[in-house]
Structure 1
Amino acid sequence: YSLVSREVIADSLEVVSAGMNHDGLIAVGGCDKNMPGCVMAMARLNIPSIFIYGGSILPGIGPAGEDIDIVSIFEAVGRNQAGTLDKKGVHKIECEACPGAGSCGGMYTANTMSSAIEAMGLSLPYGASNPAVSAAKEREAFLAGKQVVQLVKDNIRPRDIITRKSLENAYTFVLSLGGSTNALLHLMAIAKEAQVEWTLADFDRIGAKVPHLADLKPGGRYVMHDLHKVGGTPPVLKALLDAGFLHGDCITCTGKTLAENLKDVDTIYKNPKQDVVRPLNNPLHASGHIVVLHGNLAPDGAVAKIAGLKSSKITGPAKVFDGEEACFHAIQERQIKAGDVVVIRGEGPVGGPGMREMLSVTAALVGQGLGDSIGLITDGRFSGGTHGLVVGHVSPEAWVGGPIALINTGETITIDAEAKIVKVHLDDAELQKRKAAWKTPAPREKAGVLAKYAKCVKSASEGAVTY
């Protein structure tokens, strides 16, 4: 139901706000799907609007005094299965990982989207980095209430703010921070609601030139609270603007342009003690950490995240699973070995239905010490907390007869993130023969919201929108 909820949230806001004939709108969101859902509704309604991010959680304290977060729990389960952590250790991490209110603390999907929305101009400056439990977040909420009234007076609307240029700003910021692959799905959906043409090729174009700068989890060391402590999001935006990566002339919900908002902000590099954000001349990656791949397994595209990887290429035998549960069981039984390429299919927007995140699988693999030595391909999604050589959003998906439906365990697969290729070592004639023999599976859901979703949802390569 996770991705499905994005559409339900957008539709619900539309129904209530349009039904009540609101003059303006403030939406408060605090996790993965309600943020894009809120912004989709804002763009659809096109009434003066401001988004308030509920804010990020503070880190927990691990057994050795280290910072831990929600993903630490999933990885602890894998360590327990591998015999390197006992149940008491798992329980201690479970008790400490989430110490209070707020969205997951790393540069996972929630903080990715809050950062994208701030760079896009639909939330106030510092909105993405102000912690959930802070006086700064309270002040932000108060100011948003005043500012939305001014937006109504000035008749500044979401489609004035959400433009091709501001979407480029949003994705540029996502790349610089090491954000989640889910941003691609959500930004495409937001673009559609704002009536802006946007495709996977746009992400690929921007990714080729934007450096990955922030050393944030899951691929790095820090969480959003650490970025807040060294200045927050605007100083990073200022550094990107000064370096020519952002469009400063985009109007924002302050009524000013992005450049005007940042005029009196020092760049992050004015703080000599911080090491959360790397220098522009010494980035973590010289170009984007998210890459769009194509090949005979993904003719319409797939998405990989290469932050924190020791290797961006693997060729190995496929271990094919129909669904996440079958794969997770195999991991528990220690059936996955170094060098394997795990394939999880039937998890796309139609097949799921709902395109689930494979976090339990990837975290278990990391916990067993396999995160750097296997590849994983799926027509589903990945949590923003996922790391490793993983390829998601494979399109077309298995349930509609995409090539991922046609492969078998033992066949050789190559993932090459540098060359942007994902392929099975079979010729076109063999794939065409298998496609001719393939039959459409019966729907998994016969009634209810999932059945409705499966009938109308589009491909992941189009943002998994429903119209």
Structure 2
Amino acid sequence: MESIRKLKQYNPAYSSTLIKSEELPAYRAMLYATGIQEPDLYKPQIGIVSNWYEGNPCNMHLNSLSQAAKQSINKNNMIGFQFTTIGISDGMTMGTEGMKYSLPSREIIADSIESVVKAQHYDGIIGIPGCDKNIPGVLMGIIRTERPAIIIYGGSIESGKYQGKKLNIVSAFEALGQKNIGQISNSEYQNIIKQACPGPGACGGMYTANTLATGLEALGMTLPFSSSCLANNINKKYECNKIGSYIKELLKQNITPKKIITKNSIQNAMTVAIALGGSTNLVLHILAICQTAKLKFNIENIKELTEKVPMIGNLKPSGKYLMEDIEKIGGTPIIMKYLLNEGLLNGECLTVTGKKLKENLEGIPNISFSNQKVISTLYKPIQNKGQIRILYGNIAPKGAVAKISGKEGHCFSGRAKVFDSEIEANNAILNNKIKSGDVIVIRYVGPKGSPGMPEMLKPTSYIMGAGLGNKVALITDGRFSGGTHGFVVGHITPEAQMGGVIALIQEKDIIKIDAIKNRITLKISKKDLLNRKKEYKKNRPKTKNGYLSKYSKLVSSASAGCITENRNK
């Protein structure tokens, strides 16, 4: 009884309100049914949510991490309750109707976490995401609950290997383009597919999952090294094994995500991701996270950072290396310490360790540039500005997002080849109907038009595989995979479904893309453009039933983060 009295004094903020109530006997009765004992009733309850499911290597190992986290929580005199939320495999749905559900799944993930945590009155949360949309979805749900929380990244996959070359998921897509032009045999093509993904973990380059994971670590929402620790590394289990002591400290100090996620920490997240050459999807998700956290941080703020932060990461898709190579040189913290020492990060930001960012990095060694080629110095960067560019112009008066590595050049002008679906564009590329100098236009694939704003890894991979990477450009109101490279512009706003200028482009129109002046222009007169606007007829919605129909009615534009939550609260 004495131990129970001590536990009662701890008084968890949320679960204790139900335990204390004599009018809720069913609550206690059902807790007893889960197997907990009377002393456990007075312990803090921690929800442990993972995006575990067996059908995707990014997610198939997350349940074991969740179980390890639960053991750590229980050892620290708390009660862990595991639950799961959904996931969608971007790689497996790429180029199919299933990809329409990828971005919308972010909202389902956030909604489900908010629902379970608030309904069950959990006192804290551990989130364990794997694939791309898992990460922002988990964070957005956590922000809404206003409970102390820590995210454990599921970790990146090891590289595959074939004929002495490293492989990753993008290798499989590009191999099809190579086979199509006779560069590799069918046997080589099949072997690349078989060897590309050797086990668990998210896609290995600086694609969307790893971009967001490194961003979250810089944001302060994961423990140090979480983003660069591979999925099958024993240290990933060690991270889970010590999570209980950290979440307990957050509960004691009442450190909630909104105390960690500030404009300064968002800038830290963006800075690290831009420096490493991260995915264009970073823009969508950062905007959505800021909207959820009620922070005043918009696409113009992102543009300022992309102009300021050099790219120093020699990482795929445009570079050579993978996340496993970052782990080998000392992990994400060694890069963060370098950026902090150079004045590009704010070290005063609070993190889930309960310490400031600069305190977390105190014991981290300085990066060496003499024995590794993964990270360049800021004084001799791979590119003076970040790959991500925010473009404006008559095609995108409310903004568009480009990823320009510089290898393709910085300006492109060509004649439009117009497609009203991704499938049409893919067929044209595979049937060798795209020629040097073309600007491929894929439209009606935006958040409302598709609906769901699918990623375009197939067409860009086919372009690269066909040897057209520096000879054509591609623009779309859809978005790109983190694995995309080439001269590409996405997120064009307003989208075609809303009557944007991209809907008015005609075959053989001249389109100019200038990544130096950050402009994207349809080269026609204002009078001709006005006449086309008058003649425009809005397309009927493609989906009339189910979740995508509801999503298309609620979703905001790409320049506002594609969120469905009421933004006028």
TM-score under structure 2 normalisation? 0.81
d(CA) in 1 for partners of 2:406, 2:134: 28
d(CA) in 2 for partners of 1:428, 1:12: 47
Stretches (4+) displaced over 4 A = none
Per the alignment, residue 186 of structure 2 pairs with 87
Task: State the Cα distance separating 1:149 from its structure 2 match.
Answer: 1.6
Per the alignment, residue 2 of structure 1 pairs with 102
Per the alignment, residue 438 of structure 1 pairs with 536
Per the alignment, residue 324 of structure 1 pairs with 422
SS at match of 2:550: helix
Matched, 1:26 2:157: no
| Equivalent runs, 1:306-455 vs 2, <5 Å | 306-307=404-405, 309-455=407-553
Per the alignment, residue 198 of structure 1 pairs with 297
Q: Which structure has the bigger radius of gyration?
A: 2
Matched, 1:303 2:385: no
d(CA) in 2 for partners of 1:96, 1:410: 41
Q: 1:123 aligns with which of 214, 218, 222?
A: 222
What amino acid maps onto 2:275 in structure 1? S
- Contact 2:399–2:492 (CA under 8 A) maintained in structure 1: yes
Per the alignment, residue 290 of structure 1 pairs with 388
| Equivalent runs, 1:32-181 vs 2, <5 Å | 32-62=132-162, 64-181=163-280
Per the alignment, residue 259 of structure 1 pairs with 358
What amino acid maps onto 1:305 in structure 2? K
User: How many residue pairs align between the two structures?
Assistant: 465
What amino acid maps onto 1:109 in structure 2? T
Per the alignment, residue 307 of structure 2 pairs with 208
**What are structure 2's unaligned runs of at least 5 residues?**
1-100
d(CA) in 2 for partners of 1:433, 1:12: 46
What amino acid maps onto 1:34 in structure 2? N
d(CA) in 2 for partners of 1:276, 1:41: 34
State the Cα RMSD in Å: 0.9
Percentage of identical aligned residues: 47
What amino acid maps onto 1:425 in structure 2? K
CA deviation map 1:177-234 (0-9, x unaligned): 1100000000010111111011110011111111100100001000000110010000
- Contact 1:60–1:97 (CA under 8 A) maintained in structure 2: yes
What amino acid maps onto 2:490 in structure 1? G
d(CA) in 2 for partners of 1:446, 1:310: 40
Task: State the Cα distance separating 1:274 from its structure 2 match.
Answer: 1.3
CA deviation map 1:246-300 (0-9, x unaligned): 110000000000001001111222x631111001211001121111000000000
- Contact 2:161–2:195 (CA under 8 A) maintained in structure 1: yes
Task: State the Cα distance separating 1:41 from its structure 2 match.
Answer: 0.8
SS at match of 1:387: coil
SS at match of 1:343: strand
- Contact 2:383–2:406 (CA under 8 A) maintained in structure 1: no
CA deviation map 1:133-171 (0-9, x unaligned): 011111111122321121111100000001000000000
d(CA) in 1 for partners of 2:244, 2:181: 51
SS at match of 1:26: strand
SS at match of 2:563: coil
- Contact 2:408–2:469 (CA under 8 A) maintained in structure 1: no
What amino acid maps onto 1:382 in structure 2? F
d(CA) in 2 for partners of 1:19, 1:185: 29
Task: State the Cα distance separating 1:45 from its structure 2 match.
Answer: 1.0
d(CA) in 1 for partners of 2:444, 2:367: 44
SS at match of 1:300: coil
SS at match of 1:298: coil
d(CA) in 2 for partners of 1:428, 1:132: 54
Task: State the Cα distance separating 1:114 from its structure 2 match.
Answer: 0.2
- Contact 1:308–1:388 (CA under 8 A) maintained in structure 2: no
Q: 2:324 aligns with which of 225, 230, 237?
A: 225
TM-score under structure 1 normalisation? 0.98
- Contact 2:391–2:402 (CA under 8 A) maintained in structure 1: yes
- Contact 1:308–1:387 (CA under 8 A) maintained in structure 2: no
**What are structure 1's unaligned runs of at least 5 residues?**
none
CA deviation map 1:370-412 (0-9, x unaligned): 0111111000000000000100000000000000000101010
Task: State the Cα distance separating 1:308 from its structure 2 match.
Answer: 5.3
- Contact 1:341–1:377 (CA under 8 A) maintained in structure 2: yes
CA deviation map 1:276-335 (0-9, x unaligned): 100121100112111100000000000111125231211110000001001001111111
